[in-house]
Amino acid sequence: MRTPLLLAALFAVPAASLAQTHCPIQRLEPQDGYGGAFGMPMAIDSGRLLIRDSEASGPCPGGGTAPGCVNGAIYSFTLEDGLWTNRQLIYPLDMGVYRGFGNFDVEGDLMIATTANRDSDSRNGLGHVYRFDHTSGQWFEADRFPAPDAPYKPTGGFGNDVALRGDSVLISRDSVVFLYQQIGESWKLAQTIDQRDATIPSVGFGLPLAMNDDWAFIGAMLDQSDGYYGAIHVYRRDASGQLVFHEKLRPPLLDAGFGRSMALDGSTLAVWGGGTHVAGSVFVYDVTADGPVLHQDVTLEGVTEEPIGLGIGVSLSGDTMVCGSYTGRSWMPGETVGYVFKRGADGLWRLATMVDPEPAAPYGLFRTTGHATATDGEMVVISHVGERPGPALTGAAYSFDLDCEICQPDLDLDGALTIFDFLTFMNLFQDGDARADFDGDGDLTLFDFLAFQTAFDAGC
């Protein structure tokens, strides 16, 4: 579809600039009497927001409740009229105390969650795996199986991280990663992957984890061999789903840390890069048939308020990437904000907006420690695990609506409305790009010019 550029002459381009927006921020906190460490991990999937509280109090074994019955729980929220509503507090049926329940991964109506420990049986605190199914608006425990036996007493909890993909799930513990596969109705241990550099102590192998249909990525965030900080071990999944070692990915820059957080969506892999590289960056890879290829070193160069640790919590959904970051407001580590990047038609990620919980944080962001983020491309949630809203409640999360946060007519994503946005619109329109469909009718017509003009005039 070609449109005469002369149409541009129809527009009077005002010298608009971005006004301060006042988008609503929803603050989420644990249920009264149940909070402990609300906020990590989190996920948005199929319209549901799931947030773990690893130290949530809950029903005690044998019934009743008491503050000491700390077992962990997962909150399930659904979005109604733009607000997250708590629908369920998810526990395992075999309640215990200090089990550390709730590290999880979710895909559609299937969730795999773990307990780090089991203190009341003879399995040396090896942990359990739980499968939950979502039916009729609720999560139900559908299966449960023990962690594999270990030749030694584990020092760390089972299920430090969980990565679910289709009928396979990766679960890590103490530099060992377990692959389970669904066979029929039950899940079976299919492979045990050991720390690859067994001679290097404390490499943190198994944290974080990510997996798609063809590849698995196993972090080793403490690996400081060869002068680098952190590594990602890349495995190819063979026809049977087994993992075959492919390569060890090191940070692209010698002074960059690597892999404290990682997100994978389709064939896009985003990896935190920090370490001595204080401002931080996020390395984005294209996951090709031959393995991951570095696509972009995403940074915040030029941002006035210099962040610290960009990408300490990174999440991805389609063309939206959220990078949690400490702010540069003070040396108090933990004032976490989220930088939202959008992937343009040219494949490059550009800053779209920054979301800041502070206006909605009743206790300030002082000494908060959480830095998880979650997004589905429409909503963004940032956690503040260490926030203390009350004597018995700990943790909060903040939700932002990207429709409001992102200025739609700022098409070149430079934070200002200028003639270059008109030119970008013209190019998108001529290229048949859906981003030019400003009236949202699924077609590119003259009415989109009018809708763009209206949005531009309205400002942001």
Residues in the site for Ca ion, rule: CB under 5 A?
410, 412, 414, 421, 437, 439, 441, 443, 448
Residue among 223 and 410 whose Cβ is closer to Ca ion: 410
User: Nearest to residue 258, comparing CAs of 215, 211, 299, 224?
Assistant: 224
How many CB atoms within 10 Å of residue 174?
17
Residue among 11 and 145 whose Cβ is closer to Ca ion: 11
Residue among 124 and 445 whose Cβ is closer to Ca ion: 445
Residue among 194 and 441 whose Cβ is closer to Ca ion: 441
Residue among 43 and 460 whose Cβ is closer to Ca ion: 460
**Beta pairing class for 291-298 and 281-288:** antiparallel
Cβ at position 433, least distance to Ca ion in Å: 12
First to last CA, the chain: 29
Torsion of CA 91, 93, 99, 100, to 10 degrees: -20
Cβ at position 450, least distance to Ca ion in Å: 10
Residue among 213 and 443 whose Cβ is closer to Ca ion: 443
Cβ at position 302, least distance to Ca ion in Å: 15
Cβ at position 410, least distance to Ca ion in Å: 4
Cβ at position 354, least distance to Ca ion in Å: 16
Cβ at position 231, least distance to Ca ion in Å: 38
d(CA 323, CA 313): 6
Cβ at position 73, least distance to Ca ion in Å: 44
Residue among 225 and 418 whose Cβ is closer to Ca ion: 418
Residue type at 78 in one-letter notation: T
Residue among 5 and 446 whose Cβ is closer to Ca ion: 446
Identify whether the C-beta of residue 91 lies closer than 8 Å to the C-beta of residue 59. yes
Cβ at position 437, least distance to Ca ion in Å: 4
Residue among 199 and 304 whose Cβ is closer to Ca ion: 304
Tokens standing for residue 3: 């449109």
Residue among 337 and 406 whose Cβ is closer to Ca ion: 406
Cβ at position 190, least distance to Ca ion in Å: 49
State CA 253 to chain mean position distance. 24
Cβ at position 304, least distance to Ca ion in Å: 17
**Cis check: omega of the bond before 208, within 30 degrees of 0:** yes
Cβ at position 445, least distance to Ca ion in Å: 5
- 3-state DSSP of the chain: CCCCHHHHHHCCCCCCCCCCCCCCEEEECCCCCCCCCEEEEEEEECCEEEEEECCCEEECCCCCEEEEEECCEEEEEEEECCEEEEEEEECCCCCCCCCCEEEEEEECCEEEEEECCCCCCCCCCCCEEEEEEEECCEEEEEEEEECCCCCCCCCCCCCCCEEEECCEEEEEECCEEEEEEEECCEEEEEEEEECCCCCCCCCCEEEEEEECCCEEEEEECCCCHHHCCCEEEEEEECCCCCEEEEEEECCCCCCCCCCCCEEEECCEEEEEECCCCCCCEEEEEEEECCEEEEEEEECCCCCCCCCEEEEEEEEEECCEEEEEEECCCCCCCCCEEEEEEEECCCCCEEEEEEECCHHHCCCCCCCCCCCCEEECCCEEEEEECCCCCECCECEEEEEEEHHHHCCCCCCCCCCCCCHHHHHHHHHHHHCCCHHHCCCCCCCCCHHHHHHHHHHHHHCC
Residue among 35 and 409 whose Cβ is closer to Ca ion: 409
Residue among 297 and 439 whose Cβ is closer to Ca ion: 439
Cβ at position 229, least distance to Ca ion in Å: 36
